[in-house]
């Protein structure tokens, strides 16, 4: 079976959130509703030695949306079968069927499904399915000023971004949940400081923005 | 927008956003902008246009989807090719969020006249006729009473293309007999002036594709991910790193750029960069890592062997660094307690930069908007020179770094005409010209006359929130502007009721750049021209800056002289003719429109390198400095005879308010007002998609927060002798201890007691200017933070 996936180059991500707003513009999402958002992960401490300051501080950003999981758990408890998977692997949520019971929101391990109080709808990233069908790229991918996002058929995408002896791409870095739960279709190039950060009690520092 | 909450901007007569949208929906423009892409929804018109961008530091391309006269979606550059020679001009978060500004309920839709005391923010809507008659009468009256030197069009970038923005008002006043001029700006006053003292020009930057040739990049106080500094600058740096360059960022904040671009971040105490640079020079000299041959053939003032004739015995650069005269060797051990950077780190970075060549030392502008900001500029240029990184591919001369070979983008090509008033002041000193104009002369940077004849009595502010919000020491400025005996008439032309507009006697509603024709080329860097066609109709009764000035010109009997019979579109056509000299092959307007690309790019395949000719043959291609060489020692500065403030060699000078002095004891935190992606300076304040992405917060280190018993998200009070504001705090490891930051540009919103609830950093900044450039030193601030 075919499976589309996002590639996220966390190493090149500044956390500028252009992807987040491009997504909001495309989907007309009000303030407070994010289908794509960016974690700011920080760790480390400051030390003073004599008169000098040393920071053993690491930071990385991780842009995330719906991961269009190979085994989506969000739809398992949907009583009206409003969540379904296209042949290309995109996980879609049918607004017509949805009863706004919000079960999928609590089942998604990635908080990818969001409730919009203004329109009383539950929604999430649809991979810009309409754009894909028209031969275009997802709007977030075309938005990134530092060209840190990509997408494609997952194995082709993996090989495209695994050139030149680079370390293997990951499907999980902090704070993402265990990929065994739903097998997210996500390829991450971790930030060069990711190992250091994850060794030092990392935390998400921008909860109010998520 | 918080600042406007206590007045009803335009609601009293029923003209609301809803009403505007209905009006706009009735308008249909012909599809001028090229074929409709197959992917656009039926009935949608797609327009590619330069982003309004204001003064963000970039110039990007938007692809706007318009339905029934309303912009319904904003995408970006969709040209298929995205190579290094002419990469896509991808808009940042601000361009992508522009609909939320364009259709903001606080847009100004009608002319207003003041009904309360000046600055109280009470207004009533009036007709355009009444508004322009009032302004015209005031111009005539002040001109008659005080002369044209009493008229002033201040700095401002709230609208910023060739036919929109302050320059159209400048053209009008020039035709009206002139107005007091101003030179330099709030961005890089010290940078521009100091760079000239070293290189004789500001054109010291290579085309950015050349960064791919660098082996080392020192991003010193430079944060292109947030300040842009040319569309795609961060992308070129990413490519340089992928190409093998090691990138190190020196900055008090671990900026967005430090995270996405740098291999290493070195926090440094603000205002001490010149100390670290001097210590790096010490390492290079002591370890013989300087490029002695280049210094000998291309520089002056390095040591006693190359001092100018009229300063043979003066202290050379090497004397200062080694401490020959002052007995203070500028070693890394000396710099450590000043900068807060470990001596081993300083030594290592010095060795890396001196040996991993060619290398780029790029100096950001924030560190020169400080006390003695000229020094850090000259000190950085000196490091580039003594390592021989000047004039070579992959190197970088430092300083202002306008783009080789000819200065890059052209800034203003709209003809403002000659100003019959020859007097001009440094931009930052306009309040001095208000309170004591006739005392101002050369000592305050006045040019063109010995002394001013008049104080400023009438201000015509177009797209400028620099009178209140962006100028230093807001409480002082507000007091000055409230006094109607000083500035007798203040007209503000803008798109929103900014804190500056709240002080206006008359407010003229300007439309956005998406509602009028315009054109631009790149911002500092880049080799492209961006068309900005009129995309939708102006909101309410708003008009373009050009149209407003045309109508005002008519009231003054100057319409024909002002317009020359041209519309905005005609001026765009004229601007293209001017641009064509720099961008050969640039199509005429009709063809440009017909292509529908919105942008004309000149691919850069062989990036120009500044000073390449000088490097090759300094005798045949001397610099425009007095010596014709790189001036590590400036005889011109020496002749000014003010060595403690304006030394002829670059020095670290402790700031006039800092952590080591009495102010620092009272207010122990250094405060910087960095740029944020939530705004462009003060423009785009209150755009919800931006505010939620980058909430307005005071950034404070966990150690400083702990010693003040602060928790994340606490509402705090930030204060010093000049003022106080309140803001929520974000406790973050990404800022150095003893340093706090508030993103500049939030709108001033004082409560009845004068506590600013908007979080405008300029209530805390000082109006004191830098000694050589007369530039703003708005980052030199000490403050204290307590829980509110």
Please provide residue B691's backbone torsions phi and psi, each rounded to the nearest 5 degrees.
-65, -35
- Alpha-carbon span B673 to A121, nearest angstrom: 40
Cβ neighbours of B341 (radius 10 Å): 28
Cβ-nearest to B336 among A51, A60, A131: A51
Cβ-nearest to B90 among A57, A145, A205: A145
Handedness of CA B310, B314, B315, B318 (dihedral sign): positive
Q: Which residues of A touch B234 (CB under 8 A)?
A: 14, 145-146
Note if the bond before B658 is cis, omega within 30 degrees: no
Q: Name the minimum distance, in Å, from the CA of B256 to any CA of chain A.
A: 5
Q: Shortest CA distance to B776 belongs to which of B373, B499, B193?
A: B373
Q: Name the minimum distance, in Å, from the CA of B701 to any CA of chain A.
A: 9
Q: Which residues of B touch A43 (CB under 8 A)?
A: 733
Q: How far is CA B213 from CA B160, B242, B403, B756, in A?
A: 33, 11, 16, 48
Please provide residue B228's backbone torsions phi and psi, each rounded to the nearest 5 degrees.
65, -70
- Best to test chain A binding among B67, B344, B733, B738 (most A CBs inside 10 Å): B733
Q: Are B28 and B535 in contact (CB under 8 A)?
A: no
Residue B21's pLDDT is what? 32
Classify strands B506-509 and B489-494 as parallel, antiparallel or unpaired: parallel
Q: Which residues of A touch B99 (CB under 8 A)?
A: 25
Q: Which residues of B touch A191 (CB under 8 A)?
A: 259
Cβ-nearest to B256 among A11, A15, A50: A15
Note if the bond before B405 is cis, omega within 30 degrees: yes
Give the number of A-B residue pairs with CB atoms closer than 8 Å.
147
Q: Name the minimum distance, in Å, from the CA of B302 to any CA of chain A.
A: 30
Coil vs helix vs strand at B284: helix
Taking only the tens place, the pLDDT of each residue in B296-321 is 999 999 999 999 999 999 999 999 99
Note if the bond before B195 is cis, omega within 30 degrees: no
- Alpha-carbon span B97 to B223, nearest angstrom: 21
Residue B602's pLDDT is what? 95
Task: Give B333: exposed, middle or buried? Use CB within 10 Å, 0-12, 13-18, 19+.
Answer: middle
Which residues, 6+ apart, have CB-to-CB distance to B385 below 8 Å?
Answer: B198, B294, B295, B298, B299, B397, B630, B632
Taking only the tens place, the pLDDT of each residue in B369-393 is 999 999 999 999 999 999 999 999 9
Contact B693 A60 (CB under 8 A): no
Coil vs helix vs strand at B647: coil
Q: How far apart are the first and last CA of chain B?
A: 22
Q: Are B296 and B306 in contact (CB under 8 A)?
A: yes
Q: Are B112 and B546 in contact (CB under 8 A)?
A: no
Q: Shortest CA distance to A170 belongs to which of A6, A2, A56, A55?
A: A6
Q: Are B124 and B7 in contact (CB under 8 A)?
A: no
Q: Which residues of B touch A48 (CB under 8 A)?
A: 737
Q: Shortest CA distance to B87 belongs to which of B76, B97, B96?
A: B76
Q: Shortest CA distance to B611 belongs to which of B597, B625, B621, B599?
A: B621
Q: Are B496 and B385 in contact (CB under 8 A)?
A: no
Q: Shortest CA distance to B410 belongs to which of B528, B564, B512?
A: B528
- Alpha-carbon span B237 to B257, nearest angstrom: 10
Cβ-nearest to A52 among B97, B235, B336: B336
Helix ranges, B176-266 (H): 189-199, 224-227, 233-242, 256-261
Cβ-nearest to B342 among A54, A57, A147: A54
- Best to test chain B binding among A8, A11, A13, A25 (most B CBs inside 10 Å): A25
Contact A16 B39 (CB under 8 A): no
Mapped to the 3 state alphabet, what secondary structure does chain A carry? CCCEEEEEEHHHCCCCCHHHHHHHHHHCCCCCCCCCEEEEEEEEEEEEECCEEEEEEEEEEEEECCCCCCCCCCCCCCCCCCEEECCCCCEEECCCCCCCCCHHHHHCCCCCCEEECCCCEEECCCCCHHHHHCCCCCHHHHHCCCCCEEEEEHHHHHHHCCCCCCCCCECCCCCCCCHHHCCCCEEEECCCCHHHHHCCCCEECCHHHC
Q: What is the longest distance spanned by two Cα atoms in chain B?
A: 78
Residue B10's pLDDT is what? 30
Q: Is the pTM of this model over 0.80?
A: yes
Residue B6's pLDDT is what? 32
Q: Which residues of A touch B90 (CB under 8 A)?
A: 18, 142-145
Low-confidence stretches of chain A (pLDDT < 70) are none
Q: Residue B295 is inside which H or E element, if any?
A: helix B292-298
- Alpha-carbon span B404 to B610, nearest angstrom: 5
- Best to test chain B binding among A9, A34, A52, A63 (most B CBs inside 10 Å): A52
Cβ-nearest to A131 among B39, B232, B690: B39
Please report, to the nearest 10 degrees, the dihedral formed by the alpha carbons of residues B52, B56, B60, B64 taken in order. -40
Residue B31's pLDDT is what? 29
Residue A8's pLDDT is what? 98
Classify strands B424-426 and B181-183 as parallel, antiparallel or unpaired: parallel
Low-confidence stretches of chain B (pLDDT < 50) are 1-39
Please provide residue B212's backbone torsions phi and psi, each rounded to the nearest 5 degrees.
-70, -10
Classify strands B70-76 and B112-114 as parallel, antiparallel or unpaired: unpaired
Contact B97 A25 (CB under 8 A): yes
- Best to test chain B binding among A17, A34, A36, A60 (most B CBs inside 10 Å): A17
Residue B41's pLDDT is what? 57
- Which pair of structure tokens corresponds to residue B68? 């029934």
Helices (H) and strands (E) in chain B, counts: 26, 26
- Alpha-carbon span B291 to B307, nearest angstrom: 18
Cβ-nearest to A134 among B38, B74, B689: B38
Q: Are B491 and B479 in contact (CB under 8 A)?
A: no
């Amino acid at each position: 079976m075919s499976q589309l996936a996002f590639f996220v180059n966390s190493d090149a991500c500044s956390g500028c959130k252009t992807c987040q707003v491009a997504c909001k513009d495309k989907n007309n999402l009000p303030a407070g509703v994010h289908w794509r958002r960016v974690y700011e992960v920080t760790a480390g401490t400051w030390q003073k030695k004599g008169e000098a300051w040393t920071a053993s501080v690491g930071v990385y950003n991780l842009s995330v949306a719906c991961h269009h999981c190979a085994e989506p758990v969000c739809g398992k408890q949907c009583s009206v079968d409003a969540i379904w998977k296209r042949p290309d692997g995109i996980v879609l949520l049918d607004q017509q069927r949805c009863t706004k019971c919000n079960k999928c929101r609590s089942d998604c391990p990635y908080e990818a499904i969001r409730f919009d109080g203004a329109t009383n709808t539950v929604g999430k990233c649809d991979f810009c399915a309409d754009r894909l069908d028209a031969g275009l790229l997802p709007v977030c991918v075309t938005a990134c000023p530092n060209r840190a996002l990509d997408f494609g058929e997952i194995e082709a995408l993996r090989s495209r971004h695994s050139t030149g002896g680079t370390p293997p791409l990951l499907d999980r870095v902090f704070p993402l949940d265990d990929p065994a739960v739903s097998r997210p279709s996500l390829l991450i190039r971790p930030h060069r400081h990711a190992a250091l950060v994850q060794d030092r009690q990392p935390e998400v520092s921008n909860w109010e923005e998520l | 927008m918080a600042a406007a909450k206590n007045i009803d901007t335009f609601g009293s007569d029923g003209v609301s956003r809803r009403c505007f949208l209905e009006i706009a929906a009735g308008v249909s423009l012909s599809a001028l902008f090229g074929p409709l892409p197959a992917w656009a929804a039926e009935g949608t018109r797609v327009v590619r246009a330069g982003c309004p961008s204001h003064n963000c530091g970039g110039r990007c391309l938007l692809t706007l989807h318009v339905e029934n006269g309303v912009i319904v979606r904003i995408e970006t550059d969709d040209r298929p090719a995205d190579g290094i020679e002419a990469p896509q001009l991808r808009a940042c978060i601000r361009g992508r969020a522009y609909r939320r500004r364009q259709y903001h309920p606080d847009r100004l839709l009608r002319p207003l006249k003041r009904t309360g005391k000046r600055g109280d923010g009470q207004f009533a809507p009036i007709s355009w006729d009444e508004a322009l008659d009032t302004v015209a009468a005031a111009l005539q009256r002040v001109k008659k009473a005080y002369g044209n030197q009493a008229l002033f069009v201040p700095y401002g970038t709230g609208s910023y293309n060739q036919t929109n923005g302050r320059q159209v008002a400048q053209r009008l006043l020039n035709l009206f007999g002139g107005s007091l001029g101003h030179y330099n700006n709030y961005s890089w006053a010290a940078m521009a002036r100091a760079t000239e003292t070293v290189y004789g020009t500001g054109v010291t930057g290579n085309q950015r594709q050349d960064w791919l040739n660098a082996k080392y990049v020192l991003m010193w106080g430079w944060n292109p991910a947030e300040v842009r500094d040319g569309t795609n600058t961060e992308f070129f740096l990413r490519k340089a790193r992928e190409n093998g360059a090691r990138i190190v960022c020196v900055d008090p904040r671990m900026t967005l750029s430090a995270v996405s671009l740098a291999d290493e971040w070195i926090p440094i105490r603000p205002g001490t960069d010149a100390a670290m640079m001097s210590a790096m020079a010490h390492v290079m000299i002591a370890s013989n890592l300087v490029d002695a041959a280049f210094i000998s053939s291309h520089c002056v003032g390095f040591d006693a062997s190359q001092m100018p004739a009229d300063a043979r015995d003066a202290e050379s650069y090497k004397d200062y660094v080694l401490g020959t005269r002052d007995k203070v060797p500028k070693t890394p051990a000396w710099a450590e307690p000043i900068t807060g950077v470990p001596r081993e780190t300083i030594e290592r970075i010095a060795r890396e930069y001196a040996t991993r060549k060619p290398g780029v030392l790029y100096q950001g502008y924030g560190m020169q908007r400080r006390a003695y900001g000229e020094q850090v500029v000259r000190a950085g240029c000196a490091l580039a020179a003594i390592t021989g990184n000047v004039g070579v591919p992959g190197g970088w001369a430092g300083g202002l770094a306008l783009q080789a070979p000819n200065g890059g983008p052209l800034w203003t090509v709209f003809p403002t005409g000659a100003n019959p008033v020859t007097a001009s002041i440094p931009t930052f000193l306009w309040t001095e010209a208000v309170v004591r104009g006739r005392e101002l002369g050369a000592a305050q940077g006045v040019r063109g006359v010995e002394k001013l004849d008049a104080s400023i009595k009438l201000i015509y502010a177009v797209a400028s929130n620099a009178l209140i919000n962006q100028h230093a020491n807001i409480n002082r400025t507000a007091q000055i502007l409230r006094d109607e005996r000083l500035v007798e008439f203040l007209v503000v032309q803008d798109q929103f009721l900014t804190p500056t507009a709240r002080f206006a006697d008359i407010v003229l509603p300007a439309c956005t750049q998406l509602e009028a024709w315009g054109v631009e080329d790149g911002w500092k860097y880049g080799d492209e021209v961006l068309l900005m066609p009129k995309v939708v109709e102006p909101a309410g009764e708003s008009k373009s800056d050009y149209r407003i000035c045309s109508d005002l010109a008519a009231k003054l009997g100057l319409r024909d002289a002002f317009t020359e019979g041209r519309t905005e579109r005609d001026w765009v056509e004229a601007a293209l003719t001017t641009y064509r000299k720099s961008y050969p092959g640039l199509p005429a307007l009709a063809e440009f429109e017909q292509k529908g690309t919105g942008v004309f790019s000149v691919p850069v395949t062989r990036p120009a390198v500044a000073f390449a000719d000088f490097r090759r043959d300094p005798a045949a291609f001397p610099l425009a400095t007095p010596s014709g060489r790189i001036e590590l020692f400036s005889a011109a500065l020496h002749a000014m005879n003010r060595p403690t403030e304006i030394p002829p060699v670059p020095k670290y000078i402790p700031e006039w308010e800092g952590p080591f002095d009495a102010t620092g004891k009272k207010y122990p935190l250094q405060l910087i007002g960095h740029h944020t992606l939530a705004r462009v300076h003060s423009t785009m304040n209150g755009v919800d998609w931006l505010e939620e992405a980058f909430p307005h917060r005071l950034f404070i280190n966990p150690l400083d927060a702990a010693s003040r018993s602060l928790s994340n998200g606490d509402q705090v009070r930030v204060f010093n002798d000049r003022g106080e504001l309140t803001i929520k705090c974000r406790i973050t490891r990404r800022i150095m201890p003893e340093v706090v930051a508030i993103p500049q540009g939030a709108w001033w919103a004082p409560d009845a007691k004068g506590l600013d609830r908007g979080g405008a950093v300029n209530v805390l900044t000082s109006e004191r200017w830098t000694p050589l450039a007369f530039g703003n030193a708005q980052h030199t601030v000490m403050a204290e933070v307590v829980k509110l």
